Structure formats: structure tokens, C-alpha cells
Amino acid sequence: MPVTPNASSRTRRARRSGRRSAFTLIEMLVVIGIIVGLLGILLPAVGRAWREGLRARMTADLQVIASALESYRHDFNDYPRVTRVNEGSVSGFNVGAQILGMALVAPGNKDQDGQDGPGFRLQKPVKTVPQGKVYPPYIEPDRFAMDAQIDASGTVLGSMAFLDRYKKPILYYPANKGTSISTGFCGEDEASLLKGTASKYMYNLSYNVAAMPPKTLQMLLGDYDLSGTINGGEIPAYTGTYILWSAGPDEIFGPKTPSAKPSAKNRCDDVANFQRFEY
């Protein structure tokens, strides 16, 4: 006749079985190590995907501005240009960016354009009589944050620059007419800027004083020896009619080390209206 185990023996076997099924400290450390390793692989990939998605949205923002610039050119037969700032002296911040906002949105200053709200006329009012055609804003005023405020009297406070998704100014460099890569590609020509005859360089980097170090922008455009022209095997990154430039997700204009050429270790996540090939 089989012997039926008593209750105490069954309890001891259950306890031993329970002890055998529990994780040991080493096993738990191994599992934790695997989880940490997977997070170390996944988090950088997720971060890169998030930054690339943000850069794609910034690129789309620049395309909106580019479309508005083409509409402006259709009406005025030219792109917005920088000629003179404060009657003979370069001052303030983001000169080209300010012109961009003034041209595509306009401040709505009644004393300046003869009407309230965004949009502008070709000529100032004469004895309070509006002159010329009223042009609506080429970009909806609430499409971008702007570095400007308008007080109760209609006076514009700020630079009127478009701001990117990190509240950094979007820079604008119109190409000068009658210039080429061989005669002068990019550099600072502040004297000609003040005279309203800025024609030495194809891209006058003084158009956005203090926004991005000019030498950094020269390198980013392909002028690595900072000669002002493309030579010695250099290849221009872009030769279009204007440049739009955002600092990108890192909020830094240019690479992390401005004086060094962009590389895998000196990354640059800036966003422009053209595809840069260096990085």
C-alpha cells in the first residue's frame, strides 16, 4: 500500500521547489545589464531620429519662406535686399534676417506704410493719403515667431527676424547681382554694404552681423582657406540666388568647434535651403 506523504513533508518539498525557481543575485545583475545595454543602443537611435525629424520640420519651414520670397520677386522683380542700416552704420542684430521679416510680413506701422496691420504699400503716405498698391503679407503673421513687438502707437520694437523652432533667428543672405564664384564668392564687405553698393562678394556675410561668425559661414559654404573665392580644389556648397540658414536643433550656428572644418567628430546640424554635402 503506497505511503501518503504527510503535510509537513509536502510543505518542505514546496519550499525547496520555491527556492529553486527564484532568481539569484547574479541572474538579476545579468538581466539588468542586458536591459541597460539595450537602452544604450536604442536611446541614441531614438535621439537621432527625433533630431532628424525636427530638422525635416525646419527644412519645411525654410521652404515656406522660400515660396514667399518667390512671390515677393514676382511682384517686385527682385528679392529683398540690404542696402543701408541706420543711415551709415551697421548696428543691431541680424540685418539680413530683419529685412526678410520686413519684406514678407511687414510690421503694420501706420506711420510707415499708411495702414494698420501686416502688409505694406510701395510708397509712404503723402499728407495722410495712401500711395500705391497695398500688398498683403507674403507669410501669415502667426506662421513664425518673430523677434519683434509692436507697441500701442504702432512702433516696431525688435529686429523683425523670423525665429526657428528654438527661437533662434533665421538668417538671410541675398546673392549680389553681377558677381560670380571667380570674382568673389563670400566674405565681409562692410564698406560697400554701408554705401548701398555691396557687390564685391556673391554672398556678403556682413548682412547678418554678429549672428554667425563669418569665417564659420565661409567654411560651411566651401571656402575652406577663407580666401573669399572658390579655388584650390574647393567646391561651393551652394550658388543660388539667396541663402536661408537656421542654427538647427543644437541652437549653434555652425559646427561645435567654429574654427574647425565640419567632420564626423565636429558635427553641424544647421538647416539651410540647400543640401550641404560636407556633413
Extents of the domains making up the chain: 47-272
Mapping DSSP to helix (H, G, I), strand (E, B) and coil, where does residue 18 land?
A: helix
pTM of the model: 0.74
pLDDT for res 244: 96
- What is the H or E stretch that residue 47 is in? helix 25-76
Between 36 and 77, the higher pLDDT residue: 77
Q: What is the pLDDT of residues 103-142, one digit of tens each?
A: 888 755 454 444 555 555 555 556 666 666 667 788 888 8
Range in 106-115, 139-148, 184-193, 223-232 the model is least confident about: 106-115
- What is the H or E stretch that residue 159 is in? strand 156-162
DSSP summary character for residue 163: B
Highest mean pLDDT among 56-65, 116-125, 177-186, 201-210: 56-65
Alpha helices, DSSP H only, in 77-224? 95-104, 110-113, 190-195, 214-220
Mapping DSSP to helix (H, G, I), strand (E, B) and coil, where does residue 46 land?
A: helix
pLDDT band, very low/low/confident/very high, at 93 (cuts 50, 70, 90): very low
What are the b/e assignments for 32-50, b being 16+ CB within 10 Å?
eeeeeeeeeeeeeeeeeee
Mean pLDDT of the region 167-187: 89
Question: What is the rounded CA–CA span in Å between residue 46 and residue 18?
Answer: 40
DSSP one-letter string for 254-269: S-SSTTS---SSS---
Between 57 and 141, the higher pLDDT residue: 57
Question: What is the rounded CA–CA span in Å between residue 131 and residue 115?
Answer: 11
279 pLDDT higher than 60: no
Task: Give burial (CB, 10 Å; 0-12/13-18/19+) of 126.
Answer: exposed
